[in-house]
Chain A
Amino acid sequence: DVVLTQSPLSLPVTLGQPASISCRSSQSLVHSNGNTYLLWFHQRPGQSPRRLIYNVYNRDSGVPDRFSGSGSGTDFTLKISRVEAEDFGIYYCMQATHWPHTFGQGTELEIK
């Protein structure tokens, strides 16, 4: 199975400051069709995960433009340009290129 390794696992951030989360894959996430199915989710306590980014860098509708995704191959990053209070919680990367689809362990974004 593809292993996704996120870092850091805990990310203390001050409101208004940037944040960055890394997701590294044990194998290339480039599909045979040329697409790269790397997604990012955000989950608050007691809530279902919410998808933020799909196919590396595409923001879902309603996702603020302070969120951006980048990367290629095996190395991906989620950036938040200026953290707001609603951004705290756990972030997961996920790959849907290979079956079984797998998730990273999660990164907890917390108030510094």
Chain B
Amino acid sequence: EVQLVESGGGLVQPGGSVRLSCVASGFSFGDYWMSWLRQVPGQGLEWVAHIGRDGSEKYYVDSVKDRFTISRDNRGNLVFLQMNSLRAEDTAVYYCVKDARDWGQGTVVTVSS
């Protein structure tokens, strides 16, 4: 059974940083692209970042480019999202997603002073 478990969310001040982690199990991790998506409570979904199987290809939505960095550790079955220069509009539930099919339960990031 595929499992994706996110951690690292919390309350952070504007301009601050946070690192999200996702540990994956139940599938051959290195064979899949991994992604981070987010959802502002009560609102729609946004695809934030996407990383290829070996970590060499990365894509970001424009609103987070130069502030967020996605990375992965295929030995440890982990995917990360380093979030810097955080803004109020980054407040959301952040989901770790495999293949647009399997989703974690989400971790909440709140950017507020």
Residues in chain A within 8 A of chain B (CB atoms): 39, 41, 48-51, 54, 60, 92, 94, 96, 99-106
> Nearest 8 pairs between A and B by C-beta?
A48-B103, A101-B47, A103-B45, A100-B61, A51-B101, A99-B59, A106-B44, A100-B47
Q: Are B44 and A60 in contact (CB under 8 A)?
A: no
- Interface size range on B against A: 10 to 19
How many A-B contacts at CB < 8 Å in the complex?
39
Q: Are B95 and A96 in contact (CB under 8 A)?
A: no
User: With the chains together, A55 CA to B20 CA distance in Å?
Assistant: 30
Q: Given A48-B104, A49-B103, A60-B101, do A100 and B45 touch, yes or no (CB 8 Å)?
A: no
Residues in chain B within 8 A of chain A (CB atoms): 44-47, 50, 59-62, 95, 100-101, 103-106
| Residues on B with beta carbons closer than 8 Å to the beta carbon of A39 | 100
User: With the chains together, A106 CA to B44 CA distance in Å?
Assistant: 7
The 25 sampled A-B contact pairs (Cβ below 8 Å) are A39-B100, A41-B45, A48-B95, A48-B103, A48-B105, A48-B106, A49-B45, A49-B103, A51-B100, A51-B101, A54-B100, A54-B101, A60-B101, A94-B45, A94-B100, A96-B100, A100-B59, A100-B60, A100-B61, A100-B62, A101-B47, A103-B44, A103-B47, A104-B44, A106-B44
